[in-house]
């Protein structure tokens, strides 16, 4: 079964990103395919490479980046939500005249069309967050 995942709550303030990560890893271990995870609203904050949690806490961004590297899962960050929150990849930073970018490895910025496409192509769409 193909499962698409939508995360709409930020890390460290809500359990959605952690729960979604555990769900995705369990689904993959059970033989399901998770081709894409879409980060929306405050969920885009998972994608920042500048977060530095204490050493004795989980690193949510690194967990997701590692999953993308290991399983090829497409981690898509909503462009409008990302820009509102100061998250930019290199292309968007240049386009907006900013001098830095902060999107972590394994994530990419794109539009809501990717969410719609995921909903069409997957057998199930599971949401985490409000």
**pLDDT tens digits along 25-65:** 999 999 999 999 999 999 999 999 999 999 898 999 999 99
Q: What number of CA atoms fall less than 13 Å from residue 93's CA on the CB side? A: 12
Name all domains of the chain by residue range, CATH numbers in brackets: 2-128 (3.40.1260.10)
Structure token pair of residue 120 = 């069409």
pLDDT digits (tens, 9 = 90+) for 111-129: 999 999 999 999 999 999 9
Three-state helix/strand/coil letters over the chain: CEEEEEECCCCCCCCHHHHHHHHHHHHHHCCCEEEEEEECHHHHHHHECCCCCCCCCCCHHHHHHHHHHHHCCEEEEEHHHHHHCCCCCHHHHHHCCCCCCCECCCEEEECCHHHHHHHHHCCEEEEECC
CB atoms near residue 100 (< 10 Å): 9
122 is catalytic: no
pLDDT of residue 44: 98
For residue 89, pLDDT over 90 is answered with yes
Mean pLDDT of 64-74: 97
Q: Which is the catalytic residue, given 7, 34, 60, 78?
A: 78
pLDDT of residue 101: 95
CA 93/CA 89 separation, integer angstroms: 6
pTM of the predicted protein model: 0.96
């Amino acid at each position: 079964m193909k499962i698409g995942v939508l995360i709409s709550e930020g890390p460290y303030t809500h359990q959605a990103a952690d729960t979604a990560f555990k769900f995705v890893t369990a689904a993959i271990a059970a033989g399901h395919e998770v081709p894409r995870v879409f980060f929306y609203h405050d969920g885009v904050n998972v994608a920042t490479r500048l977060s530095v949690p204490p050493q004795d806490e989980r690193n949510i961004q690194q967990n997701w980046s590692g999953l993308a590297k290991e399983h090829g899962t497409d981690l898509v960050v909503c462009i409008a939500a990302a820009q509102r929150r100061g998250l930019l990849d290199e292309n968007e930073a240049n386009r907006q005249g900013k001098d830095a970018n902060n999107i972590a490895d394994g994530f990419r910025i794109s539009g809501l069309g990717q969410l719609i496409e995921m909903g069409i192509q997957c057998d199930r769409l599971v949401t985490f967050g409000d």
